[in-house]
């Protein structure tokens, strides 16, 4: 399957299921309002009790003066601090749970559209797919989080080694230290970018395996690594759509800055444009996911069916087709019935 065909197929799937974009926008709006309700109100109460004027939050010296002695604040307002931290933790947990549920429903609908089991969007299918993939996605994201921690540790280790080498070279010659610093920094950047892209591509195709085949988190992760190892073009496709998404998103967001400079109505236009930009980004993100899912499905399932060919025809019981006479010609008198006697012969 060509890259252009995969992108076109992904676009058609999202156009048929445009309700997924509205769901993403609605989830963003709910999380934005929920932050002010769950976190903003307890935080505002805490600021008032601590003596901060909410109308003068631009004066950072008030913030620093208030939190200059955190031990005194904790001993005096311990219950309120616990309330604020609890509300923040509750908000983060709720947002992550809702986000995973909506993501599971979205990739479930996309996988059903690719396999042909569902032509159009149905709320019932979205909810059932969200329930089916909720706990597997929690386990899968946990594994991916551990991988990202490992990648960060490896990059930090390389960074420490590079810093030590540059420090030793600086004692010998400043020019050599500058050259080694730039050279090793470029190498570290390339290695870090490659590791991040590989991890993200494993995550994307692992989600496809989980949604299409219904595999568990561990097996999906292993199958994703095997798939990328056997299909290097799938990794190139991910890099293409990922950087394309970043470039288009940057261009869309950058237009809002000139709008904000318009007198009187600039702020209102920028706010409306930011909302429209988020809708465009949500659409592009779903197209990206659908493109990768289409490429995975057609490069594995359909390609395997084409290699194996059509299944052999099975003859129904009792039907032996057209009978053909393959027996040799028989001599007279060797048939199944004896020849008829002649009365005049006397025999």
* 3-class secondary structure, 23: helix
Residue spans per domain, the chain: 3-307
Q: What is the mean pLDDT of residues 265-283?
A: 83
Q: What is the mean pLDDT of residues 221-234?
A: 91
CA 113/CA 240 separation, integer angstroms: 23
**Residue range 27-83, pLDDT digits in tens:** 888 888 888 887 777 777 766 766 655 554 445 455 555 555 556 556 666 666 777
pLDDT of residue 155: 87
Per-residue b or e along 101-118, where b marks 16 or more CB atoms closer than 10 Å to that residue's CB = bbbbbbbbbbbbbbeeeb
**Residue range 110-157, pLDDT digits in tens:** 988 888 766 678 888 899 998 999 999 999 999 999 999 998 898 888
* Predicted structure pTM score: 0.74
First to last CA, the chain: 83
**Do 231 and 299 form a contact (C-beta atoms < 8 A)?**
yes
pLDDT of residue 223: 92
pLDDT of residue 176: 77
């Amino acid at each position: 399957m060509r890259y252009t065909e995969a992108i076109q197929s992904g676009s058609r799937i999202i156009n048929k299921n445009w309700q997924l974009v509205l769901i993403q926008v609605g989830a963003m709006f709910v999380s934005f309002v929920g932050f002010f309700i769950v976190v903003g109100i307890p935080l505002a109460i805490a600021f008032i009790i601590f003596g901060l004027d909410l109308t003068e939050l631009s004066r950072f010296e008030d913030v620093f003066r208030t939190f200059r002695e955190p031990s005194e604040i904790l001993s005096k307002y311990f219950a309120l601090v616990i309330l604020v931290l609890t509300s923040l933790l509750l908000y983060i947990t709720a947002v992550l749970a809702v986000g995973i549920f909506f993501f599971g429903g979205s990739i479930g609908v996309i996988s059903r559209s690719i396999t042909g089991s569902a032509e159009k969007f149905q709320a019932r299918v979205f909810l059932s797919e969200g329930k089916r993939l909720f706990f597997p996605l929690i386990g899968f994201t946990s594994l991916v989080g551990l991988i990202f921690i490992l990648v960060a540790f490896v990059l930090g280790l390389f960074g420490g080694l590079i810093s030590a080498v540059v420090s030793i070279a600086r004692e010998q010659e400043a020019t050599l230290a500058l050259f080694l610093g730039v050279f090793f920094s470029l190498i570290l950047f390339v290695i870090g970018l490659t590791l991040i892209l590989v991890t993200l591509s494993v995550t994307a195709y692992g989600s496809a395996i989980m949604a299409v085949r219904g595999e568990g988190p561990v097996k999906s992760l292993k199958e994703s690594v095997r798939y990328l190892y056997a299909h290097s073009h799938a990794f190139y496709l991910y890099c293409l759509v990922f950087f394309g998404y970043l470039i288009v998103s940057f261009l869309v967001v950058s237009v809002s800055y000139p709008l904000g400079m318009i007198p009187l109505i600039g702020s209102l236009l920028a706010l409306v444009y930011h909302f429209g930009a988020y809708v465009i980004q949500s659409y592009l993100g779903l197209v990206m996911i659908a493109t990768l899912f289409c490429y995975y499905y057609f490069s594995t399932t359909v390609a395997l069916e084409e290699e194996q060919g059509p299944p052999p025809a099975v003859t129904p019981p009792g039907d032996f087709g057209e009978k053909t006479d393959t027996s040799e010609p028989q001599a007279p008198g060797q048939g199944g019935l004896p020849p008829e006697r002649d009365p005049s012969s006397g025999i």
